[in-house]
Chain A
Amino acid sequence: MNTANIQLDDAGHLKHLLTVEGLSRELLTAILDQAEGFTGVTQQAVKKVPLCRGKVIANLFFETSTRTRTTFELAAKRLSADVLNLNIAASSTSKGETLLDTLHNLEAMHVDMFVVRHAASGAAHFIAEQAAPHVSVINAGDGRHAHPTQGLLDMFTIRRHKGGFEHLRVAIVGDILHSRVARSQIAALNTLGAAEIRVIGPRTLIPDAAESLGVRVCHDLREGVRDADVVIMLRLQRERMSGALLPSAHEYYQLYGLTEERLSTARPDAIVMHPGPINRGVEMDSQVADGPRSVILEQVSNGIAVRMAVIAMCIGTQNLRGPGGEGTYDA
Chain B
Amino acid sequence: MHEGMKISIRNGRLIDPASGIDREADLHCAEGKVVAIGAAPAGFQPDRTLDARGLVVCPGLVDLSARLREPGDEQKATIASETRAAAAAGITTLCCPPDTNPIIDTPAVAQLVHQIAARHGLARVLPAGAITRGLDGSQITEMAALKEAGCPVLSQGDRPIRSAQVLLRALEYASTFSLTLFLQPLDADLSEGGCAHQGAVSTRLGLPGIPEAAETVAVARALALAEQTGARIHFRGLSTARGAELLVEARRRSILASGDCAIHQLFLTEDDLHGFNSNCHLLPPLRTAADRQSLRMAVAEGAIQALCSDHQPHDADAKQAPFPETIPGISALETLLPLALRLVAEGVLDLPTAIARLTTGPAEVLGSGSGSGFGRLKPGRSADVCVFDPAETWVLSPETLVSHGHNTPFLGMEFQGRVRWTLLGGRMVFERSGTTGAAAAPPRHQSN
Contact = CB atoms under 8 A, between A and B. Distances in A.
Most buried by A among B203, B208, B317, B320: B203
A126 B323 contact: yes
Contacts of A21: 204
Given A95-B317, A144-B208, A145-B206, A120 B323 contact: yes
Given A126-B276, A142-B322, A97 B203 contact: no
A143 B323 CA distance: 11
Given A1-B277, A2-B274, A125-B275, A96 B320 contact: yes
A281 interface: no
A94 B206 CA distance: 20
B285 to A, nearest CB: 14
Contacts of B318: 96
Contacts, number: 91
A209 B200 contact: yes
Contacts of A100: 320
Contact of A121 (B205, B275, B317): B205
Nearest to B321: A96
Interface residues of B, number: 26
A209 B199 contact: yes
A30 B198 CA distance: 35
Given A207-B203, A212-B203, A3 B275 contact: yes
A121 B200 contact: no
A183 B199 CA distance: 15
A122 B198 contact: no
A307 interface: no
A182 to B, nearest CB: 10
Interface in A183-235: 183, 207-210, 212-213
B324 interface: yes
B199 A208 contact: yes
Contacts of B207: 121-122, 143-145
Interface in B285-330: 317-326
Interface in A243-265: none
A145 B273 CA distance: 13
Interface residues of A, number: 32
Given A1-B275, A3-B274, A96 B325 contact: yes
Interface in A8-57: 21
Contacts of B202: 207, 209
Most buried by A among B208, B317, B322, B324: B322
B271 to A, nearest CB: 12
A146 interface: yes
A120 B204 CA distance: 14
A99 B275 contact: no
Given A122-B323, A142-B322, A143-B324, A212 B204 contact: yes
A6 B105 CA distance: 46
B324 A130 contact: no
A120 B325 contact: yes
A180 interface: yes
Interface string B208-225: 110000000000000000
7 closest A-B pairs by beta carbon, nearest first, are A96-B321, A144-B206, A145-B206, A122-B276, A1-B275, A123-B322, A120-B322
Given A94-B325, A208-B198, 4 more contacts: A96-B320, A183-B206, A212-B200, A213-B204
9 contacts: A1-B275, A3-B274, A6-B275, A96-B325, A120-B322, A121-B206, A122-B205, A123-B322, A207-B203
